[in-house]
A = this chain, B = another copy of it.
Amino acid sequence: MNPCKNHKACTNEALKNAEEICKKKGVKLTKLRETVLRLVWKSHGYVKAYDLLEDLKKIDNSAKPPTVYRSLDFLLEHGFIHKIQSLNAYVGCGHPNTHDNCYFLICNECQNIEEHCSKNINDIVTNTSEKINFLPNKITLEISGTCKECS
C-alpha cells in the first residue's frame, strides 16, 4: 500500500480541494457527500460501494444503497473520485483540478491505486481515432499488476 507519510494530510487536502471546487462551481458538498468522500479516502486503495455502505451505517444506521450510490454519482460527476471499471470499485482522485488523461496502476496484492496522467494516452487515442474517424469521448485505461512495495 502507498506509504504516504501522513494520510490525514492526503485526506484533508482532498476534502479541501473538493470544497473549493464545489464553491467555485456553485454545487453543494453536503455533509453526506463529504462523509462518503472521506470514507473513500480511508486509504489509497480502492473501495467497494457496499463496503462504503457498511462504513456509512456505522455513522448512520439508516444508510441504504441509494444513499451511497447517489453520493458516489455526485463525487464522480465532479471528478472527486474515479470508478475503476475493471473492479467495480472507487478511488479518490488526487488531483481533481486537472484529471484529464488519467490512467490507473492497480496493485493486485495491496489494492493500492496510483493515478497517472499522460498526454501520450491522448496521442494514441487521437491517432487511432483520426485514422478511422472515431469521435472519442471517454477513455478508460487500467493497468493491474504488482506495485514496487509488493514485488
Q: Are B129 and A145 in contact (CB under 8 A)?
A: yes
Chain B residues with CB under 8 Å of A133's CB are 147-148, 151
The B-contacting residues of A in range 94-133, CB under 8 angstroms, are: 105, 107-108, 114, 116, 118, 120-121, 123-125, 127-129, 132-133
Set B118, B134, B144: member contacting A148, Cβ < 8 A? B134
Set B118, B132, B146, B151: member contacting A124, Cβ < 8 A? B118
State the copy count for this chain: 2
Q: Are A142 and B108 in contact (CB under 8 A)?
A: no
Interface size bucket, A side? 20 to 34
State the CA gap A85–B85 with chains docked (Å).
Answer: 6
Q: Are A85 and B142 in contact (CB under 8 A)?
A: yes
Give the residue name and chain of the B residue nearest to A131 (CB): B116
Q: Are A140 and B85 in contact (CB under 8 A)?
A: yes
Q: Are A137 and B144 in contact (CB under 8 A)?
A: yes
A86 at the interface (CB under 8 A from B): yes
16 more A-B residue pairs beyond the given contacts A114-B132, A138-B144, with a C-beta to C-beta distance below 8 A: A85-B85, A86-B138, A105-B128, A105-B129, A105-B134, A108-B137, A118-B124, A118-B128, A120-B127, A128-B143, A129-B145, A134-B145, A134-B146, A137-B145, A138-B145, A139-B142
Pairs across A and B, CB under 8 Å, 20 listed: A85-B85, A85-B86, A85-B142, A105-B129, A105-B134, A108-B137, A116-B128, A120-B123, A132-B147, A132-B148, A133-B148, A134-B145, A134-B146, A135-B147, A137-B143, A137-B146, A138-B143, A138-B145, A139-B141, A139-B142
